[in-house]
Chains A and B, each alone.
Chain A
Amino acid sequence: MGSTVTYSEQELTAALKAKDEQAFSYLYDHYSGSLYSVILQIVKSPEIANDILQEVFVSIWRKIESYDPIKGRLFTWMLNISRNASIDMLRSKNYQNSQKNQEVTDNVYGLNQVTQMNIDSIGLRKFLGKLRPEQRVLIELAYFKGFTHDEIAQIEGIPLGTVKTRIRSALLQLREFIK
């Protein structure tokens, strides 16, 4: 319906704040694919990712008032909502129980391998493959598991400064990678 309509970032934000459903439809059509990808890279389960994507878009609709353009672009805001929702899910009891069951099923049928390969070949996961192993672990823990630098220092048994330096240098490579 609104396929021919395009919005500038400001127009889209204003329309969303005005609770314009057509703008929201455009937003979904335009960004659901990339956000779904991010969610899937974190939770790895399409079923769970579906639920999270639904939760994320509902959240965007409801919390659009709290979006502050001064702090970043709309996509960045939505990306962080998606990531946070996914990490919250990772930490929930339900997810952890389902993952245990999933592992059993996957090990029996080898499905996890297939899913894993698909996800590893997209987005930031693809980028992870380009990193040195010691950087890859830290980005995995920080971005995909949501641990703080302090927590990572404890988990990995390395100084906080080293965690910070390694993550920063990995992220600088990301800029080159995306380009």
Chain B
Amino acid sequence: MNVQDYISSGIVESYVLGLSSPEESAEFERMCAAHSEVLAARNAFEIQLEKGFQEQKLEPPRELKSRIFSEIGRDKSPVTHAPLAKPSLVPRIGFARYVAAASLILLAGSVLLNFYLLSQYKKTIAKNEELIAAQTQIANNNKVLQTKMLSYENAVSLMQNPQMLVVKMPGVPKSPAPSSLATVYWNTQSKDVYLLINKLPAPVPNKQYQLWAIVDGKPVDAGVFDMTEGISFVKLKTIPKAEAFAITLEKKGGSSTPDMDAMYVMGKVTG
């Protein structure tokens, strides 16, 4: 079929009036694109048809136009409503402000609370340190007391011991401190010697008190002792046999023979 035959087949009218099948329409559109005569024939028929229809007008009701315009006006309603939608942003901004303000208040509150808690924490730490120090001191005191108690217990047990021979040593007439007094507790069984210093002046520097046992008229070293521990029994050397005990002040570490001029106290063993 040549183009002219195609044009005069009725396809132009069929297509324009919407009576052609989808396949026919697709083919016609291809022919229009390929052949200007087909396109020209279509255009001519369209103009002719429009002219014919325009000559056969029927006036629709007048109000129809305004009805149509009001309907398409509603299409723009999203646009005209847009400014209306915007005010709803204002509360939102307001809300955001509230949120921002609230969060600032919360932040400030949190900072204050942190400062408060930090100071409380520091106070607590300090208090805790105080308590630990106090507790340590109490524990130390307790230790001291325990030690003292132990020494007293020992002293008491020594004094209670029935095997213990007590030798009181008062100040000798020529003593540098005549009011001095010391007591020897001598275990008759084990021959252990314990010394209780009742009253003795503090020794001068580089000097030490020394206990002597008098055995057969001769002095025998019974050991040196310090006075730093206060009132307590000092265990000295074991003495198997003695008639008397005496204390002299000697050079530090003691001497082999006593300085008779520096004798403070002496007591005879009785019984």
Inter-chain contact A73/B50, CB cutoff 8 Å: yes
In the complex, chain B residues whose CB is within 8 Å of the CB of A169: 10
Interface: A5 (CB within 8 A): no
In the complex, chain A residues whose CB is within 8 Å of the CB of B18: 80, 83-84
Inter-chain contact A123/B52, CB cutoff 8 Å: yes
Cα(A143)–Cα(B92), bound, Å: 58
Inter-chain contact A37/B57, CB cutoff 8 Å: yes
Which residue from A37, A73, A79, A172 sits with its C-beta under 8 Å from B47? A73
Query: Chain B's nearest CB lies how many Å from the CB of A120?
Result: 12
Cα(A167)–Cα(B47), bound, Å: 21
In the complex, chain B residues whose CB is within 8 Å of the CB of A53: 60, 64
Q: How large is the interface on A (under 10, 10 to 19, 20 to 34, 35 or more residues)?
A: 35 or more
Q: What is the predominant secondary structure among interface residues of chain A facing chain B?
A: helix
Which residue from A36, A62, A168 sits with its C-beta under 8 Å from B11? A168
Cα(A62)–Cα(B72), bound, Å: 8
Q: How many residues of B contact A (CB 8 A)?
A: 38
Which residue from B58, B65, B75 sits with its C-beta under 8 Å from A62? B75
Cα(A158)–Cα(B52), bound, Å: 31
A-contact 0/1 string along B59-84, CB 8 Å cutoff: 11100110111011001000000000
Which residue from B19, B46, B71 sits with its C-beta under 8 Å from A167? B19
Interface: B51 (CB within 8 A): yes
In the complex, chain A residues whose CB is within 8 Å of the CB of B151: none
Inter-chain contact A178/B65, CB cutoff 8 Å: no
Which residue from A36, A79, A167 sits with its C-beta under 8 Å from B49? A79
Inter-chain contact B53/A54, CB cutoff 8 Å: no
Inter-chain contact A179/B56, CB cutoff 8 Å: no
Interface: A72 (CB within 8 A): yes
Given that A75-B46, A143-B17 are known contacts, is A168 also in contact with B29, CB under 8 Å in the complex?
no
Interface: A129 (CB within 8 A): no
Which residue from B58, B71, B75 sits with its C-beta under 8 Å from A36? B58
Interface: B160 (CB within 8 A): no
In the complex, chain B residues whose CB is within 8 Å of the CB of A143: 17, 19
Given that A76-B46, A175-B45, A179-B48 are known contacts, is A167 also in contact with B60, CB under 8 Å in the complex?
no
Inter-chain contact A54/B71, CB cutoff 8 Å: yes
Q: Once A and B bind, how many residue pairs between them come within 8 Å at the CB atom?
A: 112
Given that A32-B64, A171-B10 are known contacts, is A40 also in contact with B58, CB under 8 Å in the complex?
yes
B-contact 0/1 string along A45-67, CB 8 Å cutoff: 00001100110011001100000
Interface: B136 (CB within 8 A): no
Which residue from A33, A54, A171 sits with its C-beta under 8 Å from B14? A171
Complex: chain A residue closest to B57, CB-CB: A33
Query: Chain B's nearest CB lies how many Å from the CB of A170?
Result: 8
Which residue from B48, B60, B67 sits with its C-beta under 8 Å from A178? B48
Query: Chain B's nearest CB lies how many Å from the CB of A74?
Result: 9
On B, residues with C-beta under 8 Å from A are 8-11, 13-14, 16-19, 21, 29, 42-43, 45-54, 56-61, 64-65, 67-69, 71-72, 75
Can you list 29 A-B pairs with a CB-CB distance of less than 8 A?
A: A21-B72, A24-B72, A28-B65, A28-B68, A29-B65, A33-B54, A34-B53, A36-B57, A36-B59, A37-B53, A37-B58, A61-B68, A62-B75, A72-B42, A73-B43, A73-B46, A73-B50, A75-B49, A76-B46, A122-B56, A123-B53, A149-B21, A168-B11, A172-B10, A175-B13, A175-B45, A178-B48, A178-B49, A178-B52
